[in-house]
Amino acid sequence: MTTTDFIKTEKFEDNIDNYGWNDNTCECCGKPMKVKKYYVNTIDGPFVVEPHITDEEMRANGTQSQGIFYIGPECIKKYDKEFRGIVK
Ligand SMILES: [Zn+2]
């Protein structure tokens, strides 16, 4: 199971203050998303794991799921391809 740091930009809190937070907020930069197409799969930390990692695999590695975080199309590029989840 490969992990990488969860990325939150310095502007996140400012953007939440400006735009508010809802189901359509990019969890990386705090801005509203125009398209809700990408996500990252997270575990305790939070850290990001590859999208196909299951809850069972997380538990087998001594950690647990923190769920799916939706990320805007620009911000998802901050992650290596292997970590980019695409909504089906
Ligand atoms: Zn963003």
Tens place of pLDDT per residue across the chain (88 aa): 999 999 999 999 999 999 999 999 999 999 999 999 999 999 999 999 999 999 999 999 999 999 999 999 999 999 999 999 999 8
Distance in Å, CA 27 to ligand 1 centroid: 7
Q: What are the structural domain ranges in the chain?
A: 3-86
Angle at 84 (CA atoms; ends 70, 77), nearest 5 degrees: 90
Q: Answer yes or no: are the C-beta atoms of 83 and 7 closer than 8 Å.
A: no
Tell me which H or E stretch contains 68: strand 65-71
The Cα 15–Cα 28 span in angstroms is 10
Q: Answer yes or no: are the C-beta atoms of 47 and 4 closer than 8 Å.
A: yes
Residues with CB under 5 A from ligand 1 (ion): 26, 28-29, 72, 75
User: Full-prediction pTM beyond 0.75?
Assistant: yes
